Amino acid sequence: MLSLLLAAAALPTAVDAERAFARDAQRIGQWTAFRKYADEDAVMFTPQAIWAHEFLRGKKDPPKSVRWWPAASYVSCDGRTAVNTGPALSPDGRGQGYFTTVWQRDRRQWKWVYDGGDALKTPRARPQQPYVRRAACIGKPTRAPLLKPPPAVKKRNAGPPDDFGLGYSADRTLAWDWKVEAKGERRFRTFLWNGLRYEQVLVDQVPPR
């Protein structure tokens, strides 16, 4: 039992993954790092939803990368899914904003499946150590109050993703959803199981561009 606990403790966390992602953006290039850590089904926004690998394919790295730091991490009970958020700075350090990333771990490797954020007039705080909150491992999660999917639309061929998405951790203790309106306004929400019910712990409201 002790060896299992020690092995679990040695696994990298979503905060570790975020920090490695941010370091690599500086070391090997912004879009190269995005490609390296993106899941095959990852989505980004321009402002409508787009498959990350399609957006990133062949994209040249800028001379300097955006910088960002995890300030909060919301983690499923099993530790395999997390939502990170925190401050971000433009390459020249003049523009500030925030990021939000959904991470999923397969064995020892973390990949991001959602990347969003926006500019801010007032920068977010950058704590020395990020706030980490883990979902409760008691009780029986039922269904999070997620958005209802829009009516299904038949597509002739594979195109851009729908402007709506949701997901759960494998143990159902963490859930998230997002929706993009026609003019580009986007809302992202995160729910964490607290042992009795799902609690909304994060809301990002991105205005239309």
Report pLDDT digits (tens) over 138-189.
999 988 999 887 665 554 445 567 789 999 999 999 999 999 998 899 999 9
Range(s) of the domain holding residue 79: 11-57+64-206
Residues 6+ apart with CB under 8 A from 82: 13, 14, 15, 73, 74, 75, 76, 102, 103, 174
pLDDT at position 182 is 87
What does the pLDDT look like over 70-117, one tens digit per residue?
Answer: 999 999 999 999 999 999 999 998 899 999 999 999 977 999 999 999
Q: How many CB atoms lie within 10 A of CB 106?
A: 9
pLDDT at position 159 is 54
Residue 139 lies in a domain: yes
The count of domains in the chain is 1
What does the pLDDT look like over 3-37, one tens digit per residue?
Answer: 444 455 578 999 999 999 999 999 999 999 999 99
What's phi and psi for 102, nearest 5 deg?
-100, 125
Q: In the Cβ-directed half-sphere of 52, how many Cα atoms lie within 13 Å?
A: 21
Residue 42 lies in a domain: yes
Tokens of 108: 């020892």
pLDDT at position 74 is 98
Residue 144 lies in a domain: yes
Is the pLDDT score of 2 beyond 50?
A: no
List, as one string, the DSSP characters of 96-112.
EEEEEEEEEEETTEEEE
- Contact (Cβ atoms closer than 8 angstroms) between residue 190 and residue 167: no
| Residue 73: C-alpha distances to residues 11, 13, 49, 78 (Å) | 16, 10, 23, 14
Kindly report the CATH number assigned to the domain that includes residue 76.
3.10.450.50
* pTM for the whole structure: 0.91
